[in-house]
Amino acid sequence: MNSQTSEPITLDGEVSRRGLMLVLSSPSGAGKTTLSRLLLAEDPDLIMSVSVTTRPKRPGEQAGVDYEFVDRTTFDLMVNRRQLLEHAKVFDHYYGTPVDPVEAALAAGRDVLFDIDWQGAQQLKQAKDADLASIFILPPSTKELEQRLKSRAQDSDEVVARRMSEASGEISRWSDYDYIIVNHDVEDALEQVRAILTAERLKRARQTYLVNFVKRLQDGQ
Ligand code: 5GP
């Protein structure tokens, strides 16, 4: 769904294709947030899934843009009402993906980008495998990962140390993903994500418009 017009993308009045769900996961600090931001800025057909979280807002974060910040009671209510496509506890806090914006975007032929952890990716795979393409971003080295976490200056030393110790557990999930990118360089990694997105959009099953298009070709129209 286009955030400005909410009009579907159409060809000859038909929705040209079903949108896809592009999941980006990585240990914190491997660069997925930067990659997501760059990709969204250049691609009008891609929207970000804004998760709900019980985590406190970090400096610089915006409610409704980075996350919807909710309390635990609201989060539990959303789970009970089945308003979340997936949800998980990551580190000390709860995170989840609201279902309605995702379904609306897919039906309108827009793609949705998810910055979620391996637990969420696994749940999406079970629930919506046909719509999913998943990418795991690896850091080039442990040292580089630590440097990136420290340079964010958003988290305390204690949180950085904790995230470093969690990183190897997260990295062990790499083999559950469709695509793996080692983020040596942001521009190179971005190019690789673009290539994946292009190929995934061209998959036959996603090009819903083709059935009628080919029929017209066969009819000589
Ligand atoms: P952060 O607190 O640094 O923003 O995110 C911590 C972790 O939670 C990251 O690995 C991020 O990908 C993951 N995360 C963010 N939103 C969601 C969500 O809706 N579902 C799941 N499963 N993980 C999420």
Can you give the CATH number for the domain in which 155 is found? 3.40.50.300
- Give average pLDDT by consecutive 10-residue segment, the chain, 221 residues: 52 78 93 93 96 95 96 98 97 95 93 96 95 96 90 79 88 96 96 97 89 90 82
Residue with tokens 């140390």: 161
Provide the pLDDT for residue 21. 98
Q: Decide whether any atom of ligand 1 lies within 6 Å of the 96 Cβ.
A: yes
Residue with CA nearest ligand 1 atom 6: 90
Instruction: Decide if 101 is inside a domain.
Output: yes
Instruction: Decide if 150 is inside a domain.
Output: yes
Instruction: Decide if 220 is inside a domain.
Output: no
Residue with CA nearest ligand 1 atom 14: 116
Instruction: Decide if 40 is inside a domain.
Output: yes
Provide the pLDDT for residue 153. 66
Residue with tokens 């000390």: 92
Looking from the CA of residue 51, the nearest atom of ligand 1 is 19
Provide the pLDDT for residue 2. 39
> How many domains does the structure of the chain reveal?
1
Provide the pLDDT for residue 212. 87
H helix intervals, 43-132: 72-80, 99-107, 118-128
The domain in which residue 205 lies consists of 3-215
DSSP percent split of the chain into helix, strand, coil, nearest 5: 45, 20, 35
C-beta neighbour count of 45 within 10 angstroms: 14
Instruction: Decide if 183 is inside a domain.
Output: yes
Q: What is the pTM of this model?
A: 0.89
Cβ distance 62 to 73 under 8 Å? no
Instruction: Decide if 39 is inside a domain.
Output: yes
14-45: pLDDT as tens digits: 668 889 999 999 998 888 989 999 999 999 99
Instruction: Decide if 90 is inside a domain.
Output: yes
Instruction: Decide if 168 is inside a domain.
Output: yes
Q: For ligand 1, pick from 35, 95, 135, 148 the residue to mutate: most ligand atoms within 8 Å of CB.
A: 95
Q: Can you tell me the distance from the alpha carbon of 182 to that of 74, in angstroms, rounded to the nearest whole number?
A: 37
